A and B are shown apart, each in its own frame.
Chain A
Amino acid sequence: MTIAPLPVMPEAPPEPGRLRRQLQEFSRSPGAVTGLAVLIIIIVLAVFASVISPQDPYDLTQLDILDGRLPPGSESFSGLVYHLGTDSQGRDILSGILYGLRTSLTVGILSAFAAAIIGTTVGLIAAYIGGRTENALMRLVDLQLSFPTILMALMMLAILGKGVLNVVIALIIAEWATYARTVRATALVEREKEYIEAARSFRLPGWRILFRHLLPNCLAPVIVIATMQVARAIGLEATLSFLGLGASVTEPSLGMLISNGYQYLLTGLYWISFFPGIALLVTIVSINLVGDRLRDVLNPRNT
């Protein structure tokens, strides 16, 4: 079964691949590149916190109450230099920050990721199935979004109790709806495109159309929101910890550290809160820089 060969051009138009184009596009913003560089450093620091840190701030045996509240640059009896000072329990602030970054990033990434999965699935299903299911799901989303996130998280923690894991759960519950709404909106547009119609007319199974065809084409906004949500979640976790509802005292998340030093701020022991605060700020700003640029680059009108 062959047909007189039709002329075919051996060469494709020399367009660079989408990914390469997007990378080029991304690197055109100095802010975003800086943000990304800083973020990578922060992530490396956080991952290797236990190797890099001069001290293990979780290990109470390493702490000496006599070293409490030392200013930056002080030296301990054991010869350890506290570059950023210590807190009231004699915990090295630098180590605290490194471990704190680890906790904060874990909370942020874990909650953003899980919320993205749940929200995306809900949004996709709502858009694809439509009708009653869509109405019911979207009412739920509306309800969820009408609560301020922080209130939602506070309520959840009041029920679940303190602890890092519970913070993650609270954040997932507070944030999934954002994804659901955005993904549904994108999927509604994509669903009308002819490749979805084609997939239907080929009688492909529903799950296949959903996950093979619809999902990959709705991912761009998810990536953008997820990036921004990591920053938001880190901020929220810090707020919750600051309010005394997040991580327990023995798990030094950044919010926890800030909260610990807050009472000393006015007495001149600025470093206990100040340095963790800076770390938090730098993390959130650099994530947002990257996220902003991703939003521009992944904008469907550019692709």
Chain B
Amino acid sequence: MRDLTPPLIEARGISRRFGSKPDLAAKIALRLGLAKPQPIVHAIDNVSLSIRRGEVVGLVGESGCGKSTLGRVIAGIIPPSEGQVIWQGRDRESLNPKERHAAALATQMIFQNPMAALNPRMSIEDIVSEAPRTHGLVPKGGRQDYVDRYLRLAGFDPTMKGRYPHQFSGGQRQRVNIARALAVQPDFLVCDESVAALDVSIQAQVINLFMELRERLDLTYLFVSHDLGVVEHISDRVAIMYLGRIVEEAPVEEVFLRSNHPYTQALLAEVPRIELTKRRFKAVEGELPSPLNPPNGCHFHPRCPFAMDRCRIEVPLKREVAPGHLSACHLNDQPTV
């Protein structure tokens, strides 16, 4: 069983808030009642997630629930407001500069918008070779070979490496992004909606590429997506987020066959599948609440058909409902429903 391998990377009690600290002038204005306090966005709230070596963890949830923020914190692009990220058993903050450098390079991110992630003024070759050259990964005189190798690995024709990003289609640009990330020889990739911007037929190509690379290079993925179909296909384990918290976490078959949390169940009712008969669309009632002032207690209670008084006051904790299957819902404390 995979379960025995220690986590490669682990988020422990991560919170991340956005919103600027008031400066002196703002403080005075606040005192005098001339200004309203700056709203604070609680993008993620006390989230823990561990990812084992070689595993693909899918992270799903609606827009604005904090998937990208969690991905960025784990990838080390932004620091958490609270909590720790543990890399191979050690707190990333406690590493010495050299180890921290290595850990940072070993974790890379593939972004949603393949164009925005490439510097429009640099050629493909420069884009791919920049980081490895800076970090001395390229043998002397071997730059061309090095670049070609990684471009080919990502399914990009190296003869076109002299061109610029705007000369390529979305799928090709995403391959360049992948080649660039691979070129620093990472162990762990955070893919933030990496196929969402691509056409259906190109999406399949890039997903296949990700899966092939995983086998060849022994990669570990955190795969952020709102597309349940994609997540179901490629993940070993799935974490479901709602408004800044992970509400359920389980192996992929468990989630799709025996989902526990009411939100997951609502979400799964809408997995896009091709069906040959016309069918009524059912809907989860209610609007997405705002992360500016999330509801008290269980964040899902305003939309939950099973909400009880307790849900409005008390935050449900994640607990194991089956081996490896965690869910955060008060219903699990009830004797039997």
Instruction: Knowing A12-B163, A13-B167, say if A204 contacts B131 (CB, 8 Å).
Output: yes
By the criterion CB–CB under 8 Å, are B152 and A3 in contact?
yes
Chain B residue at minimal CB-CB distance from A200:
B77
**Out of B111, B122, B169, which one reaches A197, CB within 8 Å?**
B111
By the criterion CB–CB under 8 Å, are B118 and A195 in contact?
yes
Q: A residues within 8 A CB of B131? A: 202-204
Q: Confirm or deny: B253 has a beta carbon within 8 angstroms of a beta carbon on chain A.
A: no
**Out of B23, B101, B163, B212, which one reaches A203, CB within 8 Å?**
B101
By the criterion CB–CB under 8 Å, are A203 and B180 in contact?
no
Q: B residues within 8 A CB of A201? A: 75-77, 104, 107-109
Count the B residues whose beta carbon is within 8 Å of the partner chain — how many? 47
CA distance A178 to B101 in the complex (A): 38
In chain A between 178 and 227, which residues have their CB closer than 8 angstroms to a CB of chain B?
193-195, 197-205, 208, 212-213, 216-217
By the criterion CB–CB under 8 Å, are A8 and B155 in contact?
yes
Instruction: Knowing A3-B152, A3-B216, A8-B155, say if A202 contacts B105 (CB, 8 Å).
Output: yes
Whole-angstrom distance between the Cβ of A205 and the nearest chain B Cβ: 7
Whole-angstrom distance between the Cβ of A169 and the nearest chain B Cβ: 33
By the criterion CB–CB under 8 Å, are A10 and B77 in contact?
no
In chain B between 141 and 157, which residues have their CB closer than 8 angstroms to a CB of chain A?
149, 152-153, 155-157
CA distance A193 to B121 in the complex (A): 14
By the criterion CB–CB under 8 Å, are B119 and A6 in contact?
no
Q: B residues within 8 A CB of A212? A: 119, 122, 130
Instruction: Knowing A3-B216, A194-B113, A203-B104, say if A213 contacts B157 (CB, 8 Å).
Output: no
Instruction: Knowing A6-B209, A12-B163, A216-B121, say if A198 contacts B109 (CB, 8 Å).
Output: yes
Instruction: Knowing A195-B116, A203-B135, say if A13 contacts B169 (CB, 8 Å).
Output: yes
Count the A residues whose beta carbon is within 8 Å of the partner chain — how many? 33
By the criterion CB–CB under 8 Å, are B117 and A194 in contact?
yes
Number of A-B contacts (CB under 8 A): 98
In chain B between 168 and 205, which residues have their CB closer than 8 angstroms to a CB of chain A?
168-169, 172, 177, 180, 184, 205
Q: Confirm or deny: A148 has a beta carbon within 8 angstroms of a beta carbon on chain B.
A: no
Q: B residues within 8 A CB of A268? A: none
Q: B residues within 8 A CB of A195? A: 116-120
CA distance A146 to B104 in the complex (A): 44
Contact mask for chain A residues 121-152; partner B; CB cutoff 8 A; 1 contact, 0 none: 00000000000000100000000000000000
**Out of B108, B111, B157, B213, which one reaches A8, CB within 8 Å?**
B157
Q: List 11 A-B contacts (CB under 8 A).
A: A4-B212, A8-B155, A12-B160, A12-B163, A15-B166, A195-B120, A197-B72, A200-B77, A202-B131, A203-B105, A203-B134
By the criterion CB–CB under 8 Å, are B116 and A12 in contact?
no
Contact mask for chain B residues 45-84; partner A; CB cutoff 8 A; 1 contact, 0 none: 0000000000000000000000000001001110000000
Whole-angstrom distance between the Cβ of B4 and the nearest chain A Cβ: 29
By the criterion CB–CB under 8 Å, are A5 and B118 in contact?
no
Q: A residues within 8 A CB of B77? A: 197, 200-201
CA distance A204 to B117 in the complex (A): 15
By the criterion CB–CB under 8 Å, are A213 and B119 in contact?
yes
Q: B residues within 8 A CB of A13? A: 167-169
CA distance A7 to B117 in the complex (A): 23
Whole-angstrom distance between the Cβ of A110 and the nearest chain B Cβ: 27
CA distance A10 to B169 in the complex (A): 12
- Using A7-B205, A15-B166 as known contacts, list a sample of 19 further A-B pairs with CB atoms less than 8 Å apart, ordered by residue number in A: A1-B216, A3-B152, A3-B213, A6-B209, A7-B155, A12-B160, A12-B163, A194-B113, A197-B117, A198-B109, A198-B177, A199-B119, A201-B75, A201-B76, A201-B109, A202-B130, A202-B180, A205-B134, A213-B119
By the criterion CB–CB under 8 Å, are B166 and A208 in contact?
no
CA distance A80 to B288 in the complex (A): 86
Q: B residues within 8 A CB of A208? A: 134
**In the A-B complex, the 7 residue pairs with the closest CB atoms:** A6-B155, A202-B131, A194-B117, A8-B157, A12-B167, A216-B121, A194-B111
Chain B residue at minimal CB-CB distance from A18:
B166
CA distance A159 to B154 in the complex (A): 63
Q: A residues within 8 A CB of B209? A: 6
Q: Confirm or deny: A2 has a beta carbon within 8 angstroms of a beta carbon on chain B.
A: yes
CA distance A129 to B212 in the complex (A): 40
Chain B residue at minimal CB-CB distance from A11:
B160
CA distance A197 to B181 in the complex (A): 13
CA distance A204 to B112 in the complex (A): 21
Which of B109, B121, B216 neighbours the largest number of chain A CB atoms within 10 Å of its CB? B121
Q: A residues within 8 A CB of B149? A: 1-2
Q: B residues within 8 A CB of A217? A: 119-121
**Out of B113, B118, B120, B184, which one reaches A202, CB within 8 Å?**
B184
